[in-house]
Structure 1
Amino acid sequence: MWVLLLVFVGLPNHAYTKQPNIVVIVADDLGYQDVGFRGSDILTPNIDRLADEGVILENHIVSSICSPSRASLMTGRYGIRTGFWKGNIKPNEEFGLGLDETLLPEMLKRNGYKTHGVGKWHLGMHTWEHTPPKRGFETWFGMFLGEQGYFSHKKIGRTDLRENYYDLGNLVDNVRSDLKGKYNTYLFTDKSVELVQNHDQTKPFFLYLAYTAPHIPHEVPEEDADRFASHILGKRKNYAAMVSVMDEGVGKIADALTNNGMMENTIIVFTSDNGAYYKSVGSNYPLRGGKSSFLEGGVRGVTFVHSPLLQKSGYTNTNLHHVTDWYATFQKLAGDKPEEGSKAQLPIDGVDIWSSASNDEPCRDEILYELRDPSKRLDSQGSRGLKNVRKYPVQLKTTKMKFRKGDSRDAQEFFVIRWKNWKLLTGSGLEFQGWSPDRGLKEYRNFVNYNKEPHPRSLVSGTFLFDLSTDTREEHNVADSHPDIVNILLEKKQGYLDKVKIVEGRNYSNAGMVDGVWKPWVEL
């Protein structure tokens, strides 16, 4: 998944005279290498141009899967604080971002912003109070769940595409079954362009656009597969075309901003929330691992900043950044006074990185990738009678355990942290994966001997230390030769453990599937 954040600011170093407008564009499960400026054969001219004219943020870290990255972006808080350390929200799960959290659109709205959301939510829908129009978005066009058919707009046979807005203070829920058959990437682009074109520029503007491309299912109009990816063979062709259609949408939004006189006061930040699936059609080359792994291929986002307001541009920035940092950055740029908010400001983990992104100034030297502790997870209950719900607990018996599709993460206990150039992974149930091939040109099965080596997606136990300054591919475990560094990082664990939010028992219910439509089913 990728995220594009376009922020309109006044002057560098926060000496601005007007509030910034902010646009966040998210692509879903896009590989680290799968853009042109990383040498890919996938056509992304609009993304490439914006990156080439801006600053590439090489060490921008996100979570390894969908919901946790989105939760951190929306709250500025690590998953250990929000409860999203437990992973993605299931379609029928009664869980979401806590109502005590002040989300990014809520924070911006209280500072006078017009707030709009388009695309994918995946942060809770069991109650209306957990849905986008109740979390600060004045309008919403898109889906509440995490996946849908690109033409059917359905998940498990029920429609999940709706338009929400307020009419005289009353929330309107318009399920858009009439759009069946229309490609959702085009729908999301068109709605976003419309919102930019119709914006009243006397007020600051916030748009959150979360594409589902190129997440599975890999569906794309046939004419687009031929138009964008005729040079790519096999299953990767559809995936590549999906990325290119999204890229075309990014270009249309940039054009709309320019034509509406907004681009000169715009900062564009583009990032991925996790890498492409390992052993699939996306490529995270040359990094190790992919989605669901805390190896760099799973968590190093493809990220750049583009703006005429940048003090420096046209280079690669190697400072350490995290997806939580955008909340703190936007909060500062918006001039927010959290002490005056209607809800108490919960502690945030992000830091203001505008000076770092704009002027290459260092801003942080430590990032928590993840911490999981089974003692913080209470038992869940209720029906789990839907597809894609994990049913089988992992049995952690050996240091080389095969990963089965559908396995639960309930038994995992591990700690992953980055400090300066050092990265530590320690514990049990760590998902280790191999390396992506360059541009997906080789089959993954050629990389692993199944008879003599672990499965390419293995749950392992142990302590692993990598020096990312010399070993970006995470090939050499140097834990034994640097026990002092291991101890320094292990001493940080308790401080994070004290912040972990207990994930309480919850229900799974089929009650949200009503008359062929997904709807919130719990009344508060």
Structure 2
Amino acid sequence: MPSAPLDRISHSLCGLTCLLLALLLPLDHLSAAQRPNILLIVADDLGYSDLGCFGGEIETPQLDSLAKEGVRLTQFYNTGRCCPSRGSIMTGQYPHRVGLGHMTRNLNQRGYQGHLDDQAITVAQILQQGGYRTFLSGKWHLGTEDPTKHGFEEFYGTLVSAKTFWDVDHFTRLPATRDTHTYPKGEFYGTDALGDYAIDFMRMGRRNPDQPWFLYLAFNAPHFPLHAPNKEIDKYADRYHIGWDQVRQQRLTRMKKLGIVPEVTKLSPRSRYWDWGEAEARVNPAWDSLPTDRRGDLARRMAIFAAMVDRLDQNVGRVLTSLRQNNELENTLIIFTSDNGACAEWDPFGFDIRSSRNNTLYWGDQLDRMGGPDTHHSVGSGWANASNTPWRLYKHYNHEGGIASPGIVHWPAGVKQSGKIISTPAHIIDIVPTLLEAAQVAYPESWDNIPTIPLPGRSLLPLLQGKPQSERTLYFEHQGNRAIREGRWKLAATRGGPWELYDVSRDRTELNDLAKTEPERVQQLARKWDQWAQENFVLPYPQDYRIDYLAPLQKP
């Protein structure tokens, strides 16, 4: 952000201005005294079609109930990767703008600092200035060490990407002087702990009934390592032996029946994948081509993944029960989404031990040990392709499989569109303006005497309330993968590859590349993307991302 001081508004006046504007700009039917509580729930590496309400076979009755009573957004976009998405969710900016164009390693470029920019402001800070209590239970992973310095009163969770769900010492409570839960040996499970502290934080927020609260419940499930209690794994132990090809077909059938995708939607072919450090892509194999023992190993991996999603949903249910018991559900704005598409890392068989080429084939009695405290698995590209049904590709990429998230909004007091499905494109950069409009808190013109950058997103509330929306342009980039979406047109490319053009109104599965027949449109959209990339510190690309899994680009 610009560093020049803004003489006419001091930091103290900024907070007062936000509060006064909050009182002067109520929604049409809610007074300032009726401002909603806000519950923002984010899953980690959840695929587009994993939830029951988006066509999946995983049992998610709590989230399904929110969808049935609220609104589903079927063209809700993310940035393609966890850190960048969470940076956008917290600030309302494109991730490079706030220093998180890649991950948490500093690449010594403005857009790739590896941590939330010192001058970035979070929605928690703005809401706190506007009179809200603010809490975070879950994954931070924005490259800084203390979320309580970014607007949150209380924090419990992981400061980095999850390494385990079984070790209580991997999770942090801040401020450090706060009391913590004590768990009997062998009974700690990270997703449950996040639910415990979420309920604690809501209880804190109720101490002053006249003061609304904001809770960011940022699950690190179902991100690897694949860890889940045996009770949930057993529920899915036999479900995935049919393989990813049949699961993809079954999901697409349900998605059409639910209205998530149009009836004419075609299933994309099995996707390509790029193994660790390799520049050449391969294609996910047919399930029936795999040996029996390999299929058994892979079915177990997906069963554990499903168990993680199931347990996440159960903890959402615990939070919803707390809201109902305290008569808060009606006027709590709940938004649910995922930070990116399902994760393919790194090949169809997944990895073990640590993120790398390591793979262990489990068979026979060894399958029963999978998902326990002494294991570390990923689900692999074949099942990730199924999780992202019917789209192409996955997390890291800017084709639909990487950037399309399930979106659910539930707010009976403010959004009376029960069961509605909305296919208008939206983006996680829209979350901050949505929360601020609902909270009746204005986005500040300056922060710490520094002018703020205008928010690139727009509030979702008019869209959710059925008001017509003007066409917009959305931008994407991660690791050289890139895209632009404008109306019915989408330009997309993989790292080092040429632009591809799709008419997503007819071909959202990105099967029919129109780049050669529409060269002028390609040039027009590419110019817009280039301008955005320059203005938002995307370009120049880092010459070295300092990661082993990403093959260097070939010199022409």
TM above 0.5, yes or no, is yes
* One of 204, 215, 227 as aligned partner of 2:223: 215
2:241 is the counterpart of 1:241:
no
2:523 is the counterpart of 1:487:
yes
Q: Report what 2:465 is aligned to.
A: 358
Shift in CA distance, 316/361, structure 1 to aligned 2, threshold 3 Å:
same
Q: Which moved more, 1:336-345 or 1:136-145?
A: 336-345
Q: Report what 2:103 is aligned to.
A: 88
Q: Which moved more, 1:472-481 or 1:356-365?
A: 356-365
Deviations 1:103-138 (A, max 9, x none): 11111111111111111111013xx4xx20111111
Deviations 1:396-420 (A, max 9, x none): xxxxxxxxxxxxx4xx4x6410000
* One of 504, 507, 521 as aligned partner of 1:468: 504
Query: CA contact under 8 A between 1:353 and 1:363: conserved in structure 2?
Result: no
SS of the equivalent of 2:155 reads strand
Q: CA deviation at 1:95?
A: 3.2
SS of the equivalent of 1:336 reads coil
Q: Which moved more, 1:61-70 or 1:347-356?
A: 347-356
* One of 96, 110, 128 as aligned partner of 1:109: 128
* One of 439, 445, 449 as aligned partner of 1:339: 445
Structure 2 CA distance, aligned partners of 1:500 and 1:183? 39
The alignment-based identity, stated in percent, is 31
Query: CA contact under 8 A between 1:103 and 1:136: conserved in structure 2?
Result: yes
Q: Report what 1:515 is aligned to.
A: none
Q: Report what 1:296 is aligned to.
A: 400
Shift in CA distance, 137/505, structure 1 to aligned 2, threshold 3 Å:
farther
Name whichever structure is richer in strand by fraction: 1
Q: Report what 1:281 is aligned to.
A: 383
Q: CA deviation at 1:16?
A: 3.9
Structure 1 CA distance, aligned partners of 2:407 and 2:86? 15
Q: Report what 2:279 is aligned to.
A: none
Map 1:189-204; keep pairs closer than 5 Å: 189-198=195-204, 199-200=206-207, 201-204=209-212
Q: CA deviation at 1:193?
A: 1.6
Q: Report what 2:488 is aligned to.
A: 421
Structure 2 CA distance, aligned partners of 1:76 and 1:39? 29
SS of the equivalent of 1:302 reads strand
Structure 2 CA distance, aligned partners of 1:230 and 1:185? 24
Query: CA contact under 8 A between 1:83 and 1:500: conserved in structure 2?
Result: no
* One of 174, 177, 180 as aligned partner of 1:172: 177
* One of 411, 421, 424 as aligned partner of 1:307: 411
* One of 52, 55, 69 as aligned partner of 2:68: 52
2:501 is matched by which residue type in structure 1?
L
Query: CA contact under 8 A between 1:310 and 1:359: conserved in structure 2?
Result: no
* One of 475, 482, 492 as aligned partner of 1:368: 475
For normalisation by structure 2, the TM-score amounts to 0.69
Deviations 1:17-75 (A, max 9, x none): 33332111111111111111222221111111111221111111101110000000111
Query: CA contact under 8 A between 1:91 and 1:145: conserved in structure 2?
Result: no
Q: CA deviation at 1:487?
A: 2.5
Name whichever structure is richer in helix by fraction: 2
* One of 126, 132, 135 as aligned partner of 2:150: 135
Query: CA contact under 8 A between 1:145 and 1:160: conserved in structure 2?
Result: no
* One of 296, 299, 324 as aligned partner of 1:258: 324
Q: CA deviation at 1:481?
A: 1.3
For normalisation by structure 1, the TM-score amounts to 0.73
Q: CA deviation at 1:83?
A: 2.6
Map 1:436-447; keep pairs closer than 5 Å: none
Query: CA contact under 8 A between 1:152 and 1:180: conserved in structure 2?
Result: no
Structure 1 CA distance, aligned partners of 2:333 and 2:430? 15
Structure 2 CA distance, aligned partners of 1:474 and 1:111? 43
Unaligned runs of 5+ in 1: 1-8, 154-158, 166-170, 373-408, 432-459, 509-524
Q: Report what 1:61 is aligned to.
A: 77
Quote the RMSD (CA, aligned, Å). Answer: 3.0
Q: Report what 1:74 is aligned to.
A: 90
Shift in CA distance, 468/97, structure 1 to aligned 2, threshold 3 Å:
same
Structure 2 CA distance, aligned partners of 1:507 and 1:463? 22
Deviations 1:126-162 (A, max 9, x none): xx4xx20111111101110012211025xxxxx4311
Q: How many residues align?
A: 414
- Return structure 1 stretches of 4+ with deviation > 3 angstroms: 9-16, 90-95, 171-181, 227-233, 339-344, 502-508
